[in-house]
Structure formats: structure tokens, C-alpha cells
A and B are shown apart, each in its own frame.
Chain A
Amino acid sequence: MRISTFFYTIKQGFINIFRNKWFSLASIATIGACLFLFGLFYSVLINVQSIVKTAQEVVSVEVLFDEGISQERIEEIGELIDKRPEVSSKNFISADEAWESFKEEYLGEYADGFTENPLENSASYEIFLNDVSMQPALVSYLEGLEGVRTVNRSEIAAATLTGVNALIAYVSIGIIVILFAVSIFLISNTVTIGISVRKEEITIMKYIGATDFFVRSPFVIEGMMIGAIGALIPLGIIYVIYNQVIEYIVTKFSMLMRLLSFVPVETIFAQLLPVSLILGVGIGFLGSIVTVRKHLRV
């Protein structure tokens, strides 16, 4: 392709956009809305994941041992725990440590009345997981070990966190798929109108001997431009409002701050920007190429 032809095609693509301003605007708005929602869900998802990850670090499994268990067996159990892939870390809490922290937390000066450690059999391992969803498997494994008396766990926390993760993912995928279908439909409509507006020009082009490619490409360029503009607008909006929303949440719910760890906007955009642009341009390309193939049988 000649360079002059390339520029001519690009120019015609722009002319197409301006020639049916309102339809182009409608398409840009729809793609913009889609990608705005996509960006929103993506930001929320990434943050929820980050929060869940932090929460996972807090949710632990506690292993208590049989009475009179030997120190060797406790160490053996410790080694077995370390071998599990879902375990991120474990702490050994001796009976004395358990009593000390209990005293501090609940008894204060009244603890002086105790001469012996009432929690003599309360030595334990505190285990932290990589992935909360793996908790049930680990628990049943631990319960099967010799010398283990009980395994304490926070089943509800684990189930909720796993559930939230999955729910957000499914809902976002569902909504985004629907919105993308709508976008493709609207782009296709815009291009169809563009084609009908230029019907006469296309007929003349065909008579003069324009190739299919030459006739079609301005419309595909049009679709891709609409997609690109439709991607950049919501990205800009999300960039501006992201920090404000986080600031608002932080000031309103300052008590939750220890639990909530937000991802900086730059980290979000490192992926959101290219993904949105590719999606926008991709939708534009898809919507227009399908339409052009259908309506421009040249």
C-alpha cells in the first residue's frame, strides 16, 4: 500500500466519524460506558483481591496437641505442616507463651493468683495459608495426624472470602460480556449507517475499480477509532476518580483501614490501560469488519 493511500484511508475514516457525528458519539458513549464499567469492575476486583490476600494473612488455623505429647512429636508435626504447599507460614506457640498472652489480654494483675500454668496443654501451631480456599483440605489432613487433639479454624471467614472472590469475578464477567455484545451491535449500526450514507460514493468507487480492501478499510478505521476514543475517555475518568474514591473510603471507614489495603492507581493502570485499549480497538475492529463484510459485497 502506498503511503498516500494509507493517509487517504485514515482521513476517510475520520471523515466517516464526523459525517455521522451522532451515531459515532452514540457508539463512543456505549464503548466508553462498557469500558468504564470494565475499568470499575477491574479496579474493584483487584482491590478486593488485595484485601482478601491481606485478610488471608490474618485468617489462621490453630493446631492443638494431645495431652502429654512429646516435644519430638510436636517437631515432627511441624515438619509435616511445612511440607504442605498451601501453608505460607507457621508459628509455634508454647504453653507458656499462650498463658502469657492470655494473662496480658484478659487477666492483667489478677493473674498473680495462679502459681501453675493452667494452659499447660495449650501449646499450638498457628498456621497461615496462601489461599483460603485450601483451608478445608489442610484441616482434614491435620486432623488425621497422630498427636493432634483439635484443629481450630475460622470456617466462615474462609468460606466468605472465597465466595466473595468468585462472585465478583462471575458478576463482572457476565456484565462485561453483555456490554461488549451491545457495543459490537452499536458499532455495527454506526458503520451500517456510514455505509448507507456513502452508498453512492461506494458504487462509484466500485465502478472505477477500487479493490475490496480500499472500499472497506475506511469503515474499519472508523470502527477502530471509535473504539480507541471510547477506551481513552473512561480511562481518563477512572484515573481521576480512583484516588478520590479511595480517599473517601479511607476517611469514612478509617476503622477498617487495618483490614483494607488498596492498590495504587499506577498498578491498576499498568494493566487496565493496555487491556482497555485493546478491547476498545478490538470491539471497533470486530464490529466494523463484520458489518463491512456483510454490507459491502464489492
Chain B
Amino acid sequence: MNIKIQVVENLAKSEARGRRRKNTSAGSDEIITLNNVSKAYATGAPALNGVSLRIKKGEFVFIVGDSGSGKSTMIKLLLRELVPTSGEINVMGYDLTRIRHRKIPKFRRNLGIVFQDFRLLKDRNVYENVAFAQRIIQVSSKEIKRNVPSILATVGLAGKYKAKPRQLSGGEQQRVAIARALVNRPSILLADEPTGNLDPKNSWEIMKLLEQINENGTTVLVVTHNREIVNAMQKRVVTMKKGVIVSDEEKGGYIDDED
């Protein structure tokens, strides 16, 4: 493999922190690189089988496929929740096959993650749910007080910071989750079925919000089932089936399963 070592010019925030990373991917602007990645669980067929994928900084990518296609496994590999059986994964210059355990938290601070079921802390209000993300990375209370209202305004929830999750609609809860994912200014936003629990109107709003986030420079990966949205948004679509990538198109659409 052609290995070039160079400092990745990342988000302004990352630069401010003075972080230097090795980028072992082929292209300078590739933020996610999967090289012939396979993942087999102890039982059954491999979940991923020789997947190679390159995602550039600032891209908006849909990953689509039925259940069992390997999407979830891919997300888990990108989060370094799982380690591949073979192949190489490089995310933001971190070699995820070799990263040390104690470096994982630092790596994850560059990823924002949004789930289908929102995963908000039910006993805390909107403000605390977002502030939580900052507390974890040990941001000072003063900075938290400045950052949280601004990010809540970005997702359109400025007026609801005192509400508890159960007082919010599904769409609003997902906005809180997105705010939480964004407040630490990640380079990449991973959204795992973000509209899976939402009605069409809210789904659209969330997608528009993700698009807006992407336009502001964050690389966005969306794993989804939502055919209408994928077809309408005309973004890059990576289609997976039974652990392999069956198509990867710029401005693609949702490919119907012929089975």
C-alpha cells in the first residue's frame, strides 16, 4: 500500500487543539478508508466480506441495505466497537486495527453519533443531555454554558432547553440527539437509521438538518432504510447486501432488492 505520512488539515477546532495525526490513507482528503475489510462473528456467515470504501472529507454518504446486509457491523467497526477479522480501517488518520485501548476515547471524540432510538437520558432535560457530551470530554462549565445554547439554536430547539425528553416529539428528541452529537464539533457524523422512528414530515426535517450540518463542513454518513429520502436527496449512495458493497454511486438512488 502506498503510505504517505502527513498532517491532516482537519477542522479548525482540531487544529486549535494542536493535534497531529498520521494519515495512512492513499489520498490526503480521505477521512474514512476501509481496505478489504472482513468481519466474521463466532457463529454463522461473515457479516462483512472484503469491503473496501473510501469517503472524502466533507462528503454526505447514504449507506443502504436490508437487515443482515452488514450496515450495522460497518458502523460498529467505524466506532471501533468491533475489530475487523481482516483488512484495514483508517478513520481520521487513526488506524482502527491497531489503535490502543486507551486511545479509543480520544478517537471517538471526533465522531458524532445519532441512533434510531435517540438514546437520550430520560432523567435529564434537553440542556443537560447536550451538556453531558461536553462534560464527558471535560469542557469547563463556562464553555458549556456558551456552547450548548448555540448548538440548540442550530438544531432549532433554543426554546425547549428545559424540557425532559418525554415532553418532546420524536423529531424533537432526534434534534436533541443531533445537538449532543454535534456539540463536541466532530469531524464525522454517523447517523444510524436516524429517521427510523419518525413520521415522513419529521424524517424530512431531520434529513434537511443533517444536510445543513454537512454543508457546514462535517462529513455525514447516514445508514438508512428510507427509500423516498435517499431517492430524493441525490447524494452518494453505497448499497450493501450480504456483507458486500453491491453498488456505490454518486447521486445514486435506493436499489430495490430483487430477491
Contacts and interface: CB of A to CB of B under 8 A. Distances in A.
- Select the residue from A2, A204, A206, A211 with max chain B CB neighbours within 10 A: A204
Interface residues of A, number: 18
Contacts of B110: 209
Contact of B136 (A1, A4, A200, A208): A208
B138 A5 contact: yes
Contact of B121 (A204, A211, A212): A204
A102 B140 CA distance: 87
A247 interface: no
A203 interface: yes
B105 interface: yes
Interface residues of B, number: 22
B106 A209 contact: yes
B102 A5 contact: no
B15 to A, nearest CB: 18
Contacts of B79: 207
A35 B132 CA distance: 37
A15 to B, nearest CB: 9
Contacts of B105: 206, 209-212, 214
Interface in B112-153: 113, 119, 121, 132-133, 135-138, 140-141
A8 interface: yes
A2 B140 CA distance: 8
A205 interface: yes
Interface of B: 79, 102, 105-111, 113, 119, 121, 132-133, 135-138, 140-141, 180, 184
18 contacts: A2-B138, A5-B135, A8-B135, A200-B119, A200-B121, A201-B121, A205-B136, A206-B105, A208-B113, A208-B132, A209-B105, A209-B111, A209-B136, A209-B184, A210-B137, A211-B105, A212-B105, A214-B138
Interface of A: 1-2, 4-5, 8, 200-201, 203-212, 214
